[in-house]
Each structure stands twice: as structure tokens, then as C-alpha cells.
Structure 1
Amino acid sequence: MPVCVVVVSNQRAAEGLSQQLKETKLPLTTCITLPPEGDAIDQVELLSPNLTRARRQKAMGRWLMPFGFLAGVTFTQITNLTTFASFGPWGEMLIGGLMGMGSGLMGSYAAAASVNSDNDDGVRILRNRREEGSWLVLLETPNGIEPPWQVVQRSNPQQVVRLNDL
């Protein structure tokens, strides 16, 4: 979906732009006004690297943990190691699977932390503008529909940051 963030200098301009955008006939998926203070920006997934990383980790964990379990069971069976022999053959296989699942969980954290998003540079710019005291208006439109650029330009924004289409 096309996403852009409009940077404006004060609250009046931000709320006015937000109101004008909502009055347009174009369908908007999201139109959020973010003040320069508070933690509102950390609640928006598009502008919070921590939320994006957590979502990515959960998605990767759903795949890596079951495969890790199967790999742990398979490894226990093909190596004939008797590390957990006191638990019996089924218990040993189950513990091997659980250890493989734990490895899959650790792998999901490592993999999620190592991947950078295409939007990282744009998000960093927006967070810097916010720290400087600017207001942000997040605008998201459905696929195939461009944001109302005429309305955005009439608000005399300081900057318009277009995030990659999601």
C-alpha cells in the first residue's frame, strides 16, 4: 500500500491537513496525526522498528520452531547418541526435539534482528524530524490509489517522506 508521511511545523497545520485529507473523496486506509512529544510514534508499526522486528520474529518463529523440533528428533535418531538415555527412547527423542525447537526460537530472534527494512532510512529521518518538534501526518491509501498530492501540497509541508509500498 502506498504510504507517505507529511512533516508539518505545528499542531494547527497537522490537524488541518488531517481534516482536509479525511474530507477528500479518496479512500484512506490510515490517516494518523502524531505529535512531537509522547510515545505515539512507537505505537505505529510502520514507524517503529521494534514493533516491526517483533512481528518478523513471531512470523519466523512459526516456521523455524516446528522445523527445529523435527530436526532435533531426526538428529537424535540418526546419531545414536545416548545423552538423555535415562528418559527412555521416547523421552530421549522428545528432549532432542524440544532442544531443536529451542534452537529454532533462538534462530528466529537472531534472524529477525539481522534483517533491515527498506524503510529504515525514511523512518530514521521521520524520527529525527519529530525530535526537532515537527508534527507527522501518516497517510496510507489502498493499492493502486495515489495519495491526494494537491491537498498535501496546499498544506505547505516541511517535508514529505514516501515509504516503500508495502
Structure 2
Amino acid sequence: MNYLVAVLSDRMQAEAAYSALENEGLPTHQVDILGKGYKSADEYGLIDPNQQARKGAKRLVYWLVPFGFVAGYTFNFLTGIEVFPAIGNVGNHIFGGVLGAVSGALGAYLVGGSVGLTVGSGDALPYRNRLNAGKYLIVVKGTEELIQQATRVLRSFEPENIQGYTEPTNA
């Protein structure tokens, strides 16, 4: 599936563009307006960058916490540091492992979350920011020919940005 996203500055321009696309014979079920009074980013299904950040952190937690525990345990075993002499050697090794696991969780949160926030959302974050700034998006989905026709029509409205996308095929 191919997509075309055009950013328009106000509601009147978005409605005029929608009407022009409709007059050109584009099926209205393949054209959407996103913005105040129309579909929201969540209703349309734009990726939420915060959700991507949580997923990235969660993916890293599964291997960083056990790795951190093993690394902390091993470090304490090799160095023989006694943080709490009353709990003995094995207790101190386990305590070192727990500190390593906590460090792994912190690393997963910071690294996985920041990478998910900055990279995982693709172009959805700039589009969400434009919607929050009061702009409107016209989204057209369909065949390559339909997208080319829509591009020609939308360029006449001088959008702030116009971008085409092709959905990857899962083979």
C-alpha cells in the first residue's frame, strides 16, 4: 500500500484540498483529514513515540537484568568486596548481583527508552508535533497511480510538506 501525507496550514486549506481530491475522482474512503475536528493521530494509527520507547526498554530489560546480575555477582566474587560483613561471602556476592541487575534495568530504561523515543517512531513524531501546532494532514492511501494523481492535486495547494511512503511487504 502506498501513502501520501501532505501538511496544510489551516482547516480551510485542508477542506479545499479534500474537495479538490474528491472532484478529481479519488475515492473518499482512501482520503483522510487529520487535525482538530477530524481524526486524531491516535484514531488514524500514527505510532506513539512514548509507546515505542516503552517497547524498546522492555526488550532490553529481558537480557540486561540477568546479564547485570551475573556481571555483578562475578565482579563481587572476583574482588571479594564485603559490603555487609554480617551476611557472609555468598550474601555479598548475591548483593553484588542485585546491584548489577538494578544497573542493567537502569541501562535498559535509559538506552532502550531514548532509542525508542528518537528512532522507533519514524516520521510519526514530526507529524504529531504539527498536529499539536494546529496544522492539518491530508493522508491518501492507494495504488501508485492514485498517489501520483493526488500528489499533482495537492501540490497546487502549496503544502508545508508532502511526503510519500510505501508500506513494506511482509514476505
Range class of TM-score, shorter chain: 0.5 to 0.7
Q: Return 5+ residue gaps in structure 1 as ranges.
A: 23-31
Structure of greater Rg: 2
1:74 maps onto 2:83 in alignment: no
How far the C-alpha of 1:68 sits from its partner, in A, is: 0.5
Maintained 8 Å contact 2:35/2:134: no
How many residues are paired up?
151
Shift in CA distance, 58/44, structure 1 to aligned 2, threshold 3 Å = farther
How far the C-alpha of 1:146 sits from its partner, in A, is: 6.2
Q: More displaced, 64-73 or 49-58?
A: 49-58
Kindly report which structure 2 residues correspond to 1:13-162, keeping only aligned pairs within 5 A, or say none: 13=18, 19-21=28-30, 34-36=34-36, 40-41=40-41, 46-115=46-115, 116-117=118-119, 122-130=123-131, 131-137=133-139, 148-150=146-148, 152-153=150-151, 156=154, 158=159, 159-162=161-164
What's the % identity of the aligned pairs? 26
Maintained 8 Å contact 2:4/2:147: no
Shift in CA distance, 41/86, structure 1 to aligned 2, threshold 3 Å = farther
Maintained 8 Å contact 1:7/1:135: yes
Maintained 8 Å contact 2:72/2:101: yes
Maintained 8 Å contact 1:119/1:164: no
- The one-letter code matched in structure 2 to 1:58 is K
Q: Return 5+ residue gaps in structure 2 as ranges.
A: 9-13
CA-based RMSD: 4.2
